[in-house]
Structure 1
Amino acid sequence: MDAVTSFFMPWLQTFFGDNIDWKQVFLIGMTPLFLLAFVIEFAVQKRRKNTASFKLKEIFANLSLGASYQLFEALVWVLFTAAVFSWAYGYRLMDIPVNAWTVVPIYVAVELCFYIYHRSSHRVRWFWTAHVPHHSGQVMNFTTAMRQSLLNAFVGIWIFYIPLCLLGVPPVVVMFCLAVNLAYQYFIHTETIGKLPAWFEAIFNTPSHHRVHHGRNPEYIDKNYGGTLIIFDRLFGTFEPEVAKAEFGITQQINSYNPVVLNLHEAVDMMRDVMAPGPVAQRVKHLIMPPDWEREGHTPIRTWSVTPHSIAIKPKE
């Protein structure tokens, strides 16, 4: 182990400096396992003669979005985010030890922060601009988990985890717990796995619960925000069980596989809505209101082609 550490640490410090982004290091290190799981998933579905969820252009878009996300997350960590976390930890209220007694409560606290972030990403358009690429896929397989936005690095989602550092949890621990949380979520982006035992479904987020989260069925929209656990959804009234088959995608379906369009379309539309004529107080609401909010007298701007979900079509080949 020491030999492995001594080999990799100089490389990591060359890129990250003293504040290594262990979240991205962990996720990048997990990538071979992620890809292996995807190969197994495809083999299982092919044996079942059910490969409709494996469209080459969509998979390529997923991988492209994932690569840009990891690159920009790491870059912004080096330039900005690491300093913010270090600053916050410098003003911590206490020193919280990390040991066998505290690791589970810390992890649950990170899960709660993720729940709040995730719910905000659906209900505040500013954050939705960075989350919408993840939901714009119209099929579900493991690579859908990689369908992330480079805007994650810029919209400020780090603010949801700063309270833990102010409380006294070391930033490296917060980031590692978040990495484990995100890695777990990779394996719930699938139609290959049905419902798991009832006790597991009651506590943990599962493929069944997460298919609901990605569904644009009216009863499924804005449900099941949990990362590893489903307990906060049950506690705060956002839980919905999987009954009807989920229809994946977004209510105003973007008709593109282009990673640039997928990354930026909602942000561009949001800013064009903000800049459109009208009272300033109403224009600013486009930043903080839910994505489907409309101001009186203004027609929402769509820069690229979209299709309402009731007649949604697949992007052009």
Structure 2
Amino acid sequence: MQDPNFPNIILFAIPFFIMAMGLELYVTIKHGIKTYEPKDAFSSIAMGLGNVFLGFFSKAIVLLAFYFIYENFRLFTIPIAWWSFIFIFFADDFAYYWFHRISHECRLFWASHVVHHSSKHYNLSTALRQTWSGGFYSFVFWLWLPLLGFHPGMILLQMSISLLYQFWIHTEAIHKMPKWFEAVFNTPSHHRVHHGSNPIYLDRNHAGILIIWDKLFGTFQPELENEKVVYGLVKNIDTYNPVKIAFIEWIHMFKDAFSGQKSLKDRILYLIKPPGWKHDGSGQISDDLRQDWLKKAQNNDI
């Protein structure tokens, strides 16, 4: 099969990102929504530029891994055709859901993904706040696609399409989409929940394009009218320094894992357990915080 020459659509989309942020800023100011903070927005943009630059290196590793599996171990050869793009749309979105979910449930992956949640603001610039380290190892969740027989170029294209889709949902300028759209697709309302630090919203709505995976696997949470989303982390890092944003959780994770008197098992668990876990039982993970919130809400109803 001749290698396809798919364009890097993310680079072509950069002018669109800039125009969309300008339009969002105009609309939010007109409606009295204070969603942009200059230092925060510049930090997000800096993170995005760093991600694009480092992507030239990480994508080389990803392509090498994909091609190695595709050329040596693929089970089938799936042709590049209109119908195969339908299949890869669902396969990629399924892979993204599990990558995104595990990135919240395993600290080793959270160390890179936390970057995207580190802003206390929610706007289109937040979509650009991307990891500088995740691209070098998060691709493992997609390795089954070249094994199945999807061409590596086709996989990277669909991954870029998914990333582009997720740009527009980082906004408060859109309250709700039509009900049929909200039922099937990821939307600004669904994704606002995902960026919430409110206990009821933690680790919910991991969707890429389709919200159906969250509904299927029990991680869906609608945006509640009486529970305004508070953006950011349970414990915010409070810095606009892009380098600190990129690596501070790595430092905290390794400090927790390799300092003090701990068993080898506990040191390893600090890498694979969810954020908030402590070996002495003093920590609280998202599920604990959510259960506490639900108990209090139930008691208040009584």
- Same-fold call, TM > 0.5? yes
Is residue 271 of structure 2 the alignment partner of residue 287 of structure 1? yes
Question: What CA deviation, in whole Å up to 9, does each residue of 1:235-265 have, x standing for no partner?
Answer: 0010000112110000111010100110001
CA RMSD of aligned residues (A): 1.9
User: Structure 2: how far apart are the matches of 1:36 and 1:116?
Assistant: 32
Amino acid at match of 2:280: E
CA-to-aligned-CA distance 1:25-46 (integer Å, 9 cap, x gap): 2112101001101100011111
Aligned to 2:201: 220
Residues 1:66 and 2:48 are matched in the alignment = yes
The amino acid across from 1:152 in the alignment is G
Which of 183, 186, 189 lines up with 2:164 in the alignment? 183
Q: 1:53–1:139: 8 Å Cα contact kept in structure 2?
A: yes
Letter in 2 for 1:225: H
Counterpart CA distance in 2 for 1:103 and 1:114 is 16
Q: Which residue of 1 aligns with 2:287?
A: none
Letter in 1 for 2:151: P
The change in CA–CA distance for 1:21 and 1:217 in structure 2 (over 3 A counts) is farther
CA contact (8 A) 2:205 2:214 kept: yes
Structure 2, unmatched stretches of 5+, are 285-302
Q: Percent identity?
A: 37
Q: Per the alignment, in what secondary structure is the counterpart of residue 96 of structure 1?
A: coil
Structure 1 contact 211–242 (Cα < 8 Å) conserved? yes
Provide Cα deviations, 1:204-235, integer angstroms capped at 9, x if missing partner. Answer: 00000000000011110000000111010010
Q: 1:274 deviation in Å?
A: 1.3
Amino acid at match of 2:253: M
Residues 98-126 of structure 1 show CA distances to partners (whole Å, capped at 9, x for unaligned) of 32222112101100000000001000000
The answer for the alignment partner of 2:298 in structure 1 is none
Distance 2:66 2:87 in 1: 20
- Unaligned ranges ≥5, structure 1: 1-17, 301-317
CA separation of 1:258/1:93 partners in 2, compared to 1, >3 Å: closer, same or farther? same
Rounded Cα–Cα distance in structure 1 between residues aligned with 2:159 and 2:59: 15
Say yes or no: does 1:195 pair with 2:176.
yes
8 A Cα contact 1:73 1:152, kept in partner: no
SS in 1 for 2:236: strand
- Partners of 1:129 and 1:282 in 2: CA distance: 18
Distance 1:218 1:32 in 2: 36
Q: Residues 65 and 147 of structure 1 are in contact (CA less than 8 Å); yes or no, is this contact kept in structure 2? A: yes
Q: TM-score, normalised by structure 1?
A: 0.84
Matched, 1:275 2:258: yes
Q: Structure 1: how far apart are the matches of 2:270 and 2:6? A: 32
For 1:156-175, what per-residue CA distance to the aligned partner results, in whole angstroms no more than 9, with x for missing partners?
Answer: 10101110000000011111
- State the alpha-carbon separation in 1 of the partners of residues 5 and 234 from structure 2: 38
Please give the secondary structure, in 2, of the residue aligned with 1:104. Answer: helix
Task: Tell me if the contact between 1:93 and 1:168 (Cα under 8 Å) persists in the aligned partners.
Answer: yes
Letter in 1 for 2:56: A
Larger CA deviation: 68-77 vs 128-137: 68-77
CA distance in 1, matches of 2:164, 2:196: 21
Paired amino acid for 1:153? G
